[in-house]
Amino acid sequence: MPSGRPTLAVIGGTGKEGRGLVYRWARAGYTVFVGSRTPAKAQRLAEEIRERLAQPEAPVFGLSNVEAAQRADIVVLSVPYSAHRSTLETIREAVQGKILVDVAVPLKPPKVTKAWRPPAGSAALEAQEILGPDVAVVDAFQNIAHTLLWEDGPIACDVLVAGKGKANRQKVMALVEDAGLRAWDAGPIENTAVVEGLTSVLIYMNKTYGSTHLGLRITGLKD
């Protein structure tokens, strides 16, 4: 592993978005622990990614969710909102003192084209309540189509990063850039309600305009 880089865990890493993140970070040279409720599934994905990279020794490992969270410096939670609370409660002790990157979006089927907020205000705020003050919860990747993450090419979408602490957001922004996307500091954790809500807007627009991967681009600043 390149010196100075954190080790990563992707909890729910065998899901559609999770596997894309695992692939992109593994391709960038990170050590990645794939977490799953079924470790055998995580191990199969790790093997698949090593084969795709043509790097049999690439540091990608399949583990249980708790084991993956224990071994990583930064933990990424990529599970459906229906499994959000239960997964957080499972890994709570393993993530103390760490950054948790929350990818979840609080969609409320069947009306997923309408933005909905949980009682805490957002999935990230809910995660912060569950995990406690010693964990820094940061939102990222809410508005990116999972199909794009699994592809090899560049992604012409921006990622809004909002959450607890500017220094923590900057660390997550570096992960976004290494995954091949452009990152923007979107402010404190209270702003995650807006970031997450944009996903419902994009789902609505995908249906309206016949697309599957609309995204966001920030304009107005010089490169």
pLDDT by residue (tens digit) across 141-178? Answer: 999 999 999 999 889 999 999 999 999 999 999 999 99
Which residues, in sequence order, are CB contacts of 106 under 8 Å at separation 6+?
A: 81, 84, 116, 117, 118, 122, 123, 126, 196
Q: Tell me the residue ranges of DSSP E strands in 14-82.
A: 32-36, 60-64, 74-77
pLDDT by residue (tens digit) across 42-67? Answer: 999 999 999 999 999 999 999 999 99
Which is it for the CA torsion 181, 79, 193, 190, positive or negative?
negative
What H or E segment, with its residue span, contains residue 66? helix 65-71
Domains in the chain, CATH or no CATH each? 8-209 (3.40.50.720)
Instruction: Give the residue among 98, 96, 95, 104 at the shortest CA–CA distance from 124.
Output: 104
**Helix, strand or coil for residue 129?**
helix
Strands 60-64 and 74-77 turn out to be: unpaired
Prediction pTM value: 0.95
Q: Is 1 a residue whose pLDDT tops 50? A: no
